[in-house]
Structure formats: C-alpha cells, structure tokens
Amino acid sequence: MVENQDNYRLLINKLDEFIRKYYKNQLLRGTIYFCSLVLLLFLVASLTEYFFHLSATARTFFFYGFLLTTIVILIHYIIIPLVHIYKIGKVISHNQAAQIIGSHFHNVKDKLLNTLQLHEHAENEPGASKGLILASINQKITELKPVPFSSAIDLGQNKKYLKFLLPPLIVIIAILAVAPSLITESTARLIDHTTYYQKPLPFIFEIANDDLEVIQNEDFTLNVKVKGEVLPDHVFVQAGDNRIKLNKENNSSYNYTFKNVQKNIKFFLSGA
C-alpha cells in the first residue's frame, strides 16, 4: 500500500513538474509577445507625435493609453503565467495536463487518464476492491515511469515567435542610428504631455546682414534669406503698426530698405 502511494505521488510530482513547465513556456512566449506589442505601440505613438505634432490633449490620451495598454498586456502575458508557475490562481488540472501530454505521447494518453480516474474511484471503494484498483494503478504507473512528461513541451519552439519581435526592434534601432530625433524628440513631448509645444515652422529666417547698425538719417537695407523644406510665397517685416512686404530677389532671398532711419527700430519677420 505504501509503495502504491509512493508511486502515485511520484506520478503527481511528474505532472506538477509538467504543469510548471507548461506555464514557463507560456511565460517565455508571453514575454516575446509583450516586448513585440510594447515596442510596436511605442513606435506608432512616437512617429505619430513626430509627424503630426499632436495637441496636449491628444498627447495625454496617447500617454495614458500607452501606459494602460502596457499594463494590460503585462498582466495577460507575463504576470498571470508567472503566478501560475507557483500554483497561485486557477491552474490546469492533472487531467488537463494528462490530455496535453497524451497529445504528444499518443501511446500513454488513455493510460495516464485512466490511472488518475482509477485513483479517484479507489478512494470510495471498500478494502478488497480498493486493493485491486491500487494494484492496477501501480502497474500502470510502473509502465508510465519511463515517459518524460516534461519533454512534451519544447521551450526552444518559442524561437519562431521572434518574427514578431524583430521587425519593430530593428526599425527602432535603425531610426536611432540614422535619425534619432524622430524618436527622442517625440518621446520627450509625449512624456511631458501636459505642456503646449508650438508646431515648428517648415522654414526659418536668417538675417544676411553682418550687423544691424546704420548712421542716423541714412537708409538701411535689410537682407533676409529663407531656408526650409517649404518656402513662403511672401515675406513681411512688421515694424510698429506697419506690416510691409519685402522685395523678392529669388525664392530664398528678400530685402527691404528702411528710409532715413531716425531711431532704433524693433521689427520681426513673418512669411505667408
């Protein structure tokens, strides 16, 4: 009787070992899924912010949406399998484990399930019948001992799921190597999501004059160059209440002459 119990305990220990490996396999696969999804979401959020320069409200939505989604994915793919490894929460039963093992070792499926069912049945049987059932169970367990239940799960098979992780990872590394601002600047704005950021203009003004000084009562010609991906059709100078259109020399060069300068003049440039 003691030998029967010891053999059955060994069988249960092997099933428990299989169940732990079953959840280790889920954890490993879940880690790959988690990293893949988080990197993809990060890439989408960063590039969206970079190219569309979102408002503070939209950036706040993206920021908390990313955090919430990350937490949900973390719980589903990593936390749950991790706690199941330590038998916390609802884990698969020994019968379910036997069915999974049986799908890999077809010759032991019925024998393993029958052994578990017989043991449950033996608990309710009288002495003589119970002894016969336990003897049958012991025989089946002896036949099952050489079967390596844990080998029904191959952790190395998870390598095939790396195909989901590599594309976003490679894209992020390539962007950081070639044009890091696409990620670094947009990520900084997403983190500082409550701050208003002025959308950068597609062009800039450069004063071409060496200095901005002139002798009183003389004329001063302001030379302006425009640089950028998109150039304005017109450039204006605002001085006081006056908004004056500059003379266009070519697509990127403009000038305007202040006549008979009497005093310091504050001005700024604008383009349409």
Per-residue pLDDT reduced to its tens digit, 49-68: 999 999 999 999 999 999 99
pLDDT at 120 over 90: no
208 and 80 co-located in one domain: no
In this structure, of 135-139, 214-218, 228-232, the range with the lowest mean pLDDT score is 135-139
Entry pTM: 0.78
pLDDT band of residue 217 (cuts 50, 70, 90) is very high
pLDDT band of residue 97 (cuts 50, 70, 90) is very high
Do the domain assignments include residue 198?
A: no
Q: What is the pLDDT of residues 171-213, one digit of tens each?
A: 999 999 999 999 999 999 999 999 999 887 788 999 999 999 9
86 and 207 co-located in one domain: no
Domains contained in the chain, number: 2
What 3 state SS string does the chain have? CHHHHHHHHHHHHHHHHHHHHHHHHHHHHHHHHHHHHHHHHHHHHHHHHHHHCCCHHHHHHHHHHHHHHHHHHHHHHHHHHHHHHCCCCCCCCHHHHHHHHHHHCCCCHHHHHHHHHHHHHHCCCCHHHHHHHHHHHHHHHHHHCCCCHHHHCCHHHHHHHHHHHHHHHHHHHHHHHHCCHHHHHHHHHHHCCCCCCCCCCCEEEEECCCCCCCCCCCCEEEEEEEEECCCCCCEEEEECCEEEECEECCCCEEEEEECCCCCCCCEEEEEC
Q: Comparing 199 with 266, which gets the higher pLDDT?
A: 266
pLDDT at 3 over 60: no
Parent domain of 225:
203-271
Q: What is the mean pLDDT of the chain?
A: 90
149 and 229 co-located in one domain: no
186 and 242 co-located in one domain: no
Percentage of the residues of the chain whose pLDDT score is greater than 90: 70
Whole-number pLDDT of residue 130: 67
pLDDT at 121 over 80: no
151 and 262 co-located in one domain: no
174 and 220 co-located in one domain: no
Name the domain boundary from 133, 168, 191: 191
Name the domain boundary from 150, 171, 191: 191
Do the domain assignments include residue 111?
A: yes
